[in-house]
Amino acid sequence: MSFFDDIQKYPLADVQRQINSSTDADVQRALSREKITVDDFAALLSPAALPHLEKMAQKAHRQTLKRFGRTILLYAPLYLSNECANGCIYCGFSGENKIPRETLDLDTIEREARVLHKQGFRHVLLLTGESPMKIGNDFLAAAARRIRHLFSSIALEVYPMEVNGYREMIANGVDGLTIYQETYDPELYDRMHLYGRKKDYKFRIETPERGGEAGLRRIGIGSLLGLGEHRSEGFYTGLHALYLSRKHWRTHLTISFPRIRPADGGFQALNPVSDREMVQLMCALRLLLPDVGLVMSTRESAELRDNLLPLGVTQMSAGSCTAPGGYGEDAEHLEQFSIDDDRTPAEIEQLLRKRGYDPVWKDWDAALMAD
C-alpha cells in the first residue's frame, strides 16, 4: 500500500475538523507526553496550541539538541536549467512564463560547482525545472558524474523519476532526493498544475517511495507554504514522513518549509502563512518526528532564519542563487524566485559560530555508496 492509498483514510474535511476542534486540554496532554501520537500532533497544529507556542518551542529545542546536538549542516543549491514543461501557476520557471531559458553545459556546471566547493560546500543540491524531454536522466547523470569528485553528497531536486531512474542516479554519485508535494489537497493540486507530467498527483506523491526503493539515503519532503491551508498541509506532511520512516526505515528524512516567494508570473499566496504559524508548524513536526532533519532555505529573511535556528532546524542553505549559472556570473533574469537572505556562506558560518552552533560542511562520504 502506497502513501497515496494510506492518505485516503484522512479526508481533508475530517482532518481540518479534527485540528480545528482541538481543545486546550488536548494541547496540554500532547505537551505532557514524551512521544506524541497523531492525535496529539493534530492538537499541536491547531489554533488552540498558539497560546502554548513558547512551551512547544522549548520542547522542540530540547529534542533537537538531544538528537542532533549543536550542529547545522550547510548545503548549496546548484541550478542546472530553468527549462520547464509544466504549467505550475505559482512557479517562476512555469512553461507559461515567457522568460529566457538556459541550460548549463557540463563545463559551466563544473565551474559553478568549483565556486561552491571553494566556498566550503561539500553537500550540493542539483535543481532543474521539469523538462525530462530536454533535461533528462542522461544529462543529470552526466552532471553528477562530472562534479562528484568535488562533493561528499549530491542530492537532486528535479522531475520525479521511476525507480530505475533513481538507481541510475545512485550509480552516478547521487545519494539524496528532495521532492515537494506542493499541496496534499488533490483538488487544489489539480488547479495549481495546469499541464505537464506534474499534473499527476499520484505519481508525484509516490515519488519519495520510489526513491527509497531505489536506495537513496536522504529524502526530503514538504509542501509549498501559501498554497493549501497550512495546518492540514502540515498534518499530511507529518503523516507522509511517518509513513516513509516505516516503509523506508533506512532512509534519513528531511522536511522543508518553503514559503511562496515573489517570482516571475506574479503569483500571490492563496493562504499566506505568518511567521508565527510557520514556527508552530516546525515545532509540531519536530515533536512528532524527533529524528527528522528540518531544512531552512534562503527563501526566508536573515533575521527570521537566525530566530528559527534553535527551534529544530538541522540544515540550511547559504549564499544561494536560484538562477542557472548564477554563481559564476550575474544571471538574475533567469532565477526561479528571489531569495531573501543574501548573506555569504562565510557570513552564515560566522553567525552560526556566534550563536553556539558548529557549521558542518561534510556529513556524508561518497565512499559509503561507491561501487
**359, HSE (Cβ side, Cα atoms, 13 Å):** 22
Binding segment for other proteins (CB under 8 A), chosen from 83-91, 166-174, 243-251, 256-264, is 243-251
Binding residues for other proteins restricted to 2-21, rule: CB under 8 A: none
Residue 107 or residue 371: which is nearer to other proteins going by CB?
371
C-alpha–C-alpha distance, residues 166 and 350, integer Å: 36
C-alpha–C-alpha distance, residues 39 and 44, integer Å: 9
Q: How many CB atoms lie within 10 A of CB 186?
A: 14
- 358 part of the interface to other proteins, by CB under 8 A: yes
CB of 315 to other proteins, least distance (A): 14
* Chosen residue from 245, 271, 301, 338 binding other proteins by CB under 8 A: 245
C-alpha–C-alpha distance, residues 78 and 116, integer Å: 9
Count of residues interacting with other proteins (CB under 8 A):
29
Binding residues for other proteins restricted to 289-348, rule: CB under 8 A: 291
- 54 part of the interface to other proteins, by CB under 8 A: no
* Chosen residue from 99, 150, 302, 369 binding other proteins by CB under 8 A: 369
Residue 15 or residue 285: which is nearer to other proteins going by CB?
285
Note whether 212 and 248 are within 8 A (CB): yes
Contact partners, residue 293, CB within 8 Å, separation at least 6: 68, 73, 218, 220, 252, 253, 254, 255, 314, 315
C-alpha–C-alpha distance, residues 287 and 244, integer Å: 17
Note whether 254 and 219 are within 8 A (CB): yes
Q: By C-alpha distance, which of 47, 7, 4 is closest to 27?
A: 47
CB of 51 to other proteins, least distance (A): 28
Q: How many CB atoms lie within 10 A of CB 37?
A: 12
CB of 38 to other proteins, least distance (A): 16
Residue 206 or residue 363: which is nearer to other proteins going by CB?
363
- 357 part of the interface to other proteins, by CB under 8 A: yes
- 171 part of the interface to other proteins, by CB under 8 A: no
> Would you call 82 exposed, middle or buried from its count of C-beta atoms within 10 A (0-12, 13-18, 19+)?
buried
Q: By C-alpha distance, which of 216, 336, 362, 284 is closest to 57?
A: 284
Binding segment for other proteins (CB under 8 A), chosen from 5-13, 221-229, 314-322, 363-371, is 363-371
Residue 101 or residue 362: which is nearer to other proteins going by CB?
362
Task: Give the dihedral of Cα atoms 37, 313, 17, 208; nearest 10 deg.
Answer: -80
Residue 265 or residue 310: which is nearer to other proteins going by CB?
310
x/- letters, 202..231, toward other proteins (CB under 8 A): ---------------x--------------
* Chosen residue from 13, 32, 35, 249 binding other proteins by CB under 8 A: 249
- 166 part of the interface to other proteins, by CB under 8 A: no
Binding residues for other proteins restricted to 57-76, rule: CB under 8 A: 65-71
Q: How many CB atoms lie within 10 A of CB 32?
A: 9
**Residue numbers of the site for other proteins (CB under 8 A)?**
65-71, 152, 217, 245, 249-253, 291, 353, 356-358, 360, 362-365, 367-370
